[in-house]
Amino acid sequence: MLNTLRLFRFVWILATASACVLWRPTAGSVPEDIAAQAAVLEAQNKDLQATELGDIPKILDILASNTKFGGHLNVNGKLDPSALNVYVLAPKLKQRDGVPAVFFTANVFGNCAYTGVSNAIICDSDFVFSFLQDHGINGNWSDRSGWTFQDAFLAWILGHELGHAAKGDPAAHFGQENVLTRPTDAAIELSQKLETEADLYAARQIETDKKLATVLENLLIRLMNWEIEKKNGKSAAYGVGLNWDYADKSVVKYFTDQNHPEYVIRATRILTALAADMHEDGLQALLESFSRHLSPKKEKKD
Ligand SMILES: [Zn+2]
């Protein structure tokens, strides 16, 4: 009996050891989910996390209210696989000495990403704070007086990532750089489809708070106007709404061959959904006309 037990233990150890050898990732090609798991592990380190969270917990409550994550939210806490786990990294972390290398491997910097493992989302607070500033909109991150543009932007990002998590999508990033290692047309097409779905999911969740949805609409119009002006110069058509002069036949060119549609496209889609759901006929008509004049442009490959 004892011998049988010993033999069994030996075989078990042997099997475990060989499994470890088989599963050990080779240097230079760390599989994505292993990098994601390691990043989630590191993100639980309090020293690497942001302490200022703005309205993030309040916004997450609204976004998750009617989902399986309603009441199961974990922000910067110990990983709870049954909850939506959101990790917000400390400001200026990327520039710090000794920052975990896996944060670079898993593309968490300059981004907000659904990791694809353990319902975990990792957000670089530098990205969250600076995106609006980089797009001509100033705002205070810690301003708690009603919903701000910063809040609406957070709701968009987090609602988008929640959409990926709720659907069980593969790992996905909000931003557009360095996401696919080997972009193929099929991969880009699938990625754009998932991104659009995640954006529309965000819109529907945000609509559960009418005031927040209205602030997001205003923010998206501001962002689109900023993009239009950047690409087409100042328009003759000023006023409320999109500063886009269709009489002049100006078009807004956008890239079609990236895995994430450019922001102007994403903003148009999400705003169209909001305008339809909130029965804003004027805005809907304007967006329909605007969408027809968007023109695809292929990215130059070198
Ligand atoms: Zn995404």
What is the residue extent of each domain of the chain? 32-297
Confidence (pLDDT) at 204:
94
Question: How many Å lie between the centroid of ligand 1 and the Cα of residue 247?
Answer: 34
Question: How many Å lie between the centroid of ligand 1 and the Cα of residue 179?
Answer: 10
Q: Could you tell me which residue, 31 or 97, shows the higher pLDDT?
A: 97
Question: How many Å lie between the centroid of ligand 1 and the Cα of residue 197?
Answer: 9
Region 193-205: mean pLDDT is 87
Pick from 43-47, 142-146, 155-159: least confident? 142-146
Question: How many Å lie between the centroid of ligand 1 and the Cα of residue 66?
Answer: 20
Question: How many Å lie between the centroid of ligand 1 and the Cα of residue 200?
Answer: 11
Confidence (pLDDT) at 6:
61
Name, of 18-32, 105-119, 226-240, the range with top average pLDDT: 105-119
Q: Could you tell me which residue, 26 or 150, shows the higher pLDDT?
A: 150
pLDDT tens track for 227-286: 777 777 766 555 556 665 544 445 565 555 555 456 777 788 888 999 999 998 988 888
Confidence (pLDDT) at 21:
37
Question: How many Å lie between the centroid of ligand 1 and the Cα of residue 67?
Answer: 18
Question: How many Å lie between the centroid of ligand 1 and the Cα of residue 111?
Answer: 10
Confidence (pLDDT) at 72:
95
For residue 154, pLDDT over 90 is answered with yes
Question: How many Å lie between the centroid of ligand 1 and the Cα of residue 231?
Answer: 24
User: Checking DSSP bridges between strand 294-297 and strand 172-173, what pairing results, if any?
Assistant: unpaired
Predicted TM-score (pTM) of this structure: 0.78
Average pLDDT, the chain: 78
Question: How many Å lie between the centroid of ligand 1 and the Cα of residue 95?
Answer: 25
Question: How many Å lie between the centroid of ligand 1 and the Cα of residue 9?
Answer: 46
Region 83-95: mean pLDDT is 96
For residue 289, pLDDT over 50 is answered with yes
Return left, alpha or beta for 233; rule: phi > 0 is left, psi -120 to 50 is alpha, else beta: left
For residue 60, pLDDT over 60 is answered with yes
